[in-house]
């Protein structure tokens, strides 16, 4: 019996690579070096039975090129907006993801961005590096206070709750907007209050976006919503770029409708509006929410585990489209 053919578009730890080599007919493209796309990627996946993917778009043309053999696509991420899940389901192809392992890393960066933009930390760092620090005059770099303020979390899943747990010791009052109310015991633990979106935006100084990108959440934050925010409010997005209409955000910042923002993701990533980089009240990071050693290694290993379990005994951990099972 021949081993299943697996194409891996990702970095792999050495021990994981060695283990897979013993079980599968393996073809690896290290995504550290480049991201494949188009015909180059299609040529790689013809005839494969499984794909482990970090980065590239898995769309209908690619699916059609290997639909007769492909059984499973394991994404090295929680979000699956790089994969046409519907087209996979239509072709009876399982899609899996990697929930849980990146929760702490993304929550840590969320708080780091909040603190950075509120306390103007990157501004101060640039001042020192550019030899502009000539003393400590009283009005130097006054920032926003956290204690006693409201933080509004959009998306109260694993990561949203992890951010709330980190925010509470800073004296922030936890408010959230979510499709469903979280369990009562979690609300009590966090002293959290569910609000509708309009209430959340108008009452909270810090708005942190942590919801998935879906057709319903695309441009969830646009001109109207930014207009509802407090003038001293800050927007932090570590979820997916298209949740925020970037052009509307730039206008809101220019017109001082909000005090600042911190972004780890962008609407047309990796491109972004260059006006953002010119604003001192904006903090920008390169989609690094899960970029800790433990999280990224854990994501890869979980994606590989999803593939291994499927071909070992038909088990499907972490399915995104369980309706086809």
Catalytic residue among 19, 46, 119, 287: 287
The mean pLDDT value for 52-71 works out to 95
pLDDT tens track for 24-50: 999 999 988 889 988 999 999 999 999
Check pLDDT > 80 for residue 1: no
Active site residue 287: yes
Quote the CA–CA distance of 226 and 204 in Å, as a whole number. Answer: 12
From 187, 199, 223, 269, active-site residue:
269
How do residues 82-107 score in pLDDT, each as one tens digit? 999 999 999 999 999 999 999 999 99
Sequence ranges of the domains in the chain = 5-99+293-324, 103-284
Catalytic residue among 240, 246, 267, 308: 240
* CATH 3.10.20.30 assigned to 103-284: no
Write out pLDDT tens, residues 230-262. 999 999 999 999 999 999 999 999 999 999 999
For residue 228, is pLDDT > 90? yes
- Taking only the tens place, the pLDDT of each residue in 128-174 is 999 999 887 778 899 999 999 999 999 999 999 999 999 999 999 99
Average the pLDDT over 217-236 and give the result: 98
Share of the chain above pLDDT 90, in %: 94
Can you give the pLDDT at residue 287? 96
What is the reported pLDDT for 136?
Answer: 79
Q: Catalytic annotation on 129?
A: no
Q: Tell me what pLDDT residue 140 has.
A: 87
State the DSSP code for 8: E
> Exposed (0-12), middle (13-18) or buried (19+): which is 28, by Cβ within 10 Å?
middle
Is 5-99+293-324 CATH 3.30.420.40?
no
Q: Hey, what are 62's tokens? A: 């690619």
Q: List all residues 6 or more positions away from 56 whose beta carbon is below 8 Å from its beta carbon.
A: 9, 35, 36, 37, 41, 82
Contact indicator for 196, 177 with CB cutoff of 8 Å: yes
- Residue 277 pLDDT class (50, 70, 90 cuts): very high
- Local structure of residue 53 (DSSP, 8 states): E
Respond yes or no: is residue 269 known to be catalytic.
yes
Does 5-99+293-324 match 103-284 in CATH topology? yes
Is 244 within 8 Å of 221 (Cβ atoms)? Answer: yes
């Amino acid at each position: 019996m021949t081993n299943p053919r697996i194409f891996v578009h990702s970095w792999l730890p050495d021990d994981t690579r060695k283990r897979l080599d013993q079980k599968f007919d393996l073809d690896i493209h290290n995504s550290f070096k480049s991201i494949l796309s188009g015909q180059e990627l299609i040529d790689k996946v013809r005839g494969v039975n499984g794909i482990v993917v970090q980065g590239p778009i898995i769309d209908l043309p690619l699916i059609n090129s290997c639909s007769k053999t492909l059984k499973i696509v394991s994404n090295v991420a929680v979000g699956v907006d790089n994969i046409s899940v519907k087209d996979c389901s239509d072709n009876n192809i399982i899609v899996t993801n990697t929930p849980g392992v990146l929760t702490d890393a993304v929550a840590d960066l969320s708080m780091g961005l909040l603190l950075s933009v509120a306390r103007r930390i990157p501004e101060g760092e640039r001042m020192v590096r550019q030899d502009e620090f000539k003393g400590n005059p009283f009005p130097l770099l006054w920032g926003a206070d956290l204690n006693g303020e409201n933080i509004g979390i959009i998306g109260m899943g694993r990561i949203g709750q992890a951010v709330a747990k980190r925010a509470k010791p800073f004296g922030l009052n936890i408010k959230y907007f979510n499709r469903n109310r979280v369990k009562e015991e979690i609300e009590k633990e966090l002293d959290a209050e569910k609000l509708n979106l309009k209430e959340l935006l108008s009452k909270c100084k810090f708005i942190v976006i942590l919801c998935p990108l879906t057709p319903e959440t695309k441009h969830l934050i646009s001109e109207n919503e930014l207009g509802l925010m407090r003038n001293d409010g800050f927007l932090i997005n570590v979820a997916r770029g298209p949740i925020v209409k970037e052009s509307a955000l730039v206008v809101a910042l220019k017109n001082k409708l909000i005090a600042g923002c911190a972004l780890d993701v962008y609407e047309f990533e990796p491109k972004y509006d260059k006006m953002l980089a010119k604003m001192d009240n904006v903090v920008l990071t390169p989609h690094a929410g899960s970029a800790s050693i433990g999280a990224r290694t854990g994501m890869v290993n979980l994606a590989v585990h999803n593939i291994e379990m499927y071909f070992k005994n038909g088990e499907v951990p972490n399915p995104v489209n369980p309706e086809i099972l």
